Amino acid sequence: MKLARLLMASVAASSFAAAALADDLCSYDPPLPLAAGAQADPAAIRNDAEGITIAYLPMGTEFNYHVALGEGIKQVADSRDDVEMFLLSPYSGSDLAGQMGMLQDVTARADVDAIVLISFDEAALAPLVKEAVAAGKAVVIVNSDIPNFPTPVHGVVGVNQRAVNKALAEWAIQQAGGEGRRVGILDGEPGYLATERAGGFTDGITGSTWEVKARINGGWSVEKGNTAAMDLLQANPDLQVIYASNDYMALGATLATKALGREDLTILGYDGDTGALEDIAAGGMDATSDTSPVIMGRKAACFAIDLIEGKTPGGYVNTPTRIVHAGNAVEVLQKPEDLFPKPSKAY
């Protein structure tokens, strides 16, 4: 039976109360220490001009999730007369050279006070991040929980990806009544994010009757995820579950299952992209770990401002998550103020 048919009994257990995500614009949990040697000194941050300018550098604007993070940052900037935000990003998430060039540009700009950065390739970006910190910029890594970025940074904002994906796996096993399942995994491009997300899922099924039969790089996007899932399913027709390390690949896998007439499969994702939430509500994907990117963006912006104003020592800020499934997807979609892009219709 498709996993979505088994979900109603766990609505209360698997969702936060609505107020848990619709929190004050600039509230965040007290930061936790980064690993030894990974914390840059916030006392060296410079703010020589009136007001604060935040540069947001995602990896690529083809990812709605990254745009949603930027929307959260923009909401904070719009709420204050003394804060401005601008976005610099290549279109493609595979254009690492483009992001590196943009990071060099904002580091050289005297009017930029903070850099909020999504990093897929920590080793490649580390020398440029080091230059940004040395230039007196507040540097915050967002959409990550890395405790030991290769060069010291002022802050990291995200979720404990390994723990969240482990919880998703354990929850999915529970929804299946403990019955055995053959699993295929769509990994993202190699890096910290891919390792932690899929690693958490495999942690969650360790010792259970669920078994990973195959895994393949799905390239983070819908298109690449679709192609990878087609290959995965054609080579392994006995698969019963596909776990994808982000929602775009999961949506691609859903398209592949429809094309192959395999709508009996369980599709699990990660992120909380609006398109994925609507797909779940419509009976497509089965579940995702919603990491609420708009809210994460708000917290990253507030944290960066507090670093500049000397109100925090820096560190890691954790943000809220919840498992979204057929039983609570509409409830989540009924709060469009916390979503970007907005849902395609009123729920």
CATH number at residue 68: 3.40.50.2300
- Same domain as 165, residue 122: no
Residue 18 confidence (pLDDT) above 50: no
Q: Look at residue 346 and tell me if it is in a domain.
A: no
Please give the pLDDT value at position 296: 97
- Same domain as 60, residue 38: yes
- Same domain as 196, residue 252: yes
Q: Which of 10-14, 108-112, 204-208, 311-315 has the lowest mean pLDDT?
A: 10-14
CB atoms under 10 Å from CB of 11, counted, come to: 13
Please give the pLDDT value at position 120: 83
- Same domain as 43, residue 74: yes
Residue 309 confidence (pLDDT) above 60: yes
Q: Which of 2-6, 42-46, 167-171, 262-266 has the lowest mean pLDDT?
A: 2-6
> Based on the structure, what is the number of domains in the chain?
2
- Same domain as 139, residue 46: yes
- Same domain as 283, residue 202: yes
- State pTM to two decimals: 0.87
- Same domain as 244, residue 198: yes
Long-range Cβ contact pairs of 276-279 (< 8 A, separation 24 or more): 276/247, 276/250, 276/251, 277/324, 277/329, 277/332, 277/333, 277/339, 277/343, 278/329, 278/333, 278/343, 278/344, 279/251, 279/254
Q: Which of 10-19, 123-132, 182-191, 235-244 has the lowest mean pLDDT?
A: 10-19
CA dihedral (91, 93, 98, 100) positive or negative: positive
Domain of 217?
Answer: 3-17+161-290+324-338
Cis? peptide before 341, omega within 30° of 0: yes
Q: Look at residue 228 and tell me if it is in a domain.
A: yes
Average pLDDT, the chain: 91
Residue 5 confidence (pLDDT) above 70: no
Share of the chain above pLDDT 90, in %: 86
Please give the pLDDT value at position 59: 86
Please give the pLDDT value at position 24: 65
- Same domain as 117, residue 97: yes
The pLDDT tens digits for 252-300 are 999 999 999 998 999 999 999 999 999 999 999 999 999 999 999 999 9
Please give the pLDDT value at position 12: 27
- Same domain as 144, residue 44: yes
- Same domain as 184, residue 116: no
For residue 169, is it left (φ>0), alpha (ψ between -120 and 50) or beta? Answer: alpha
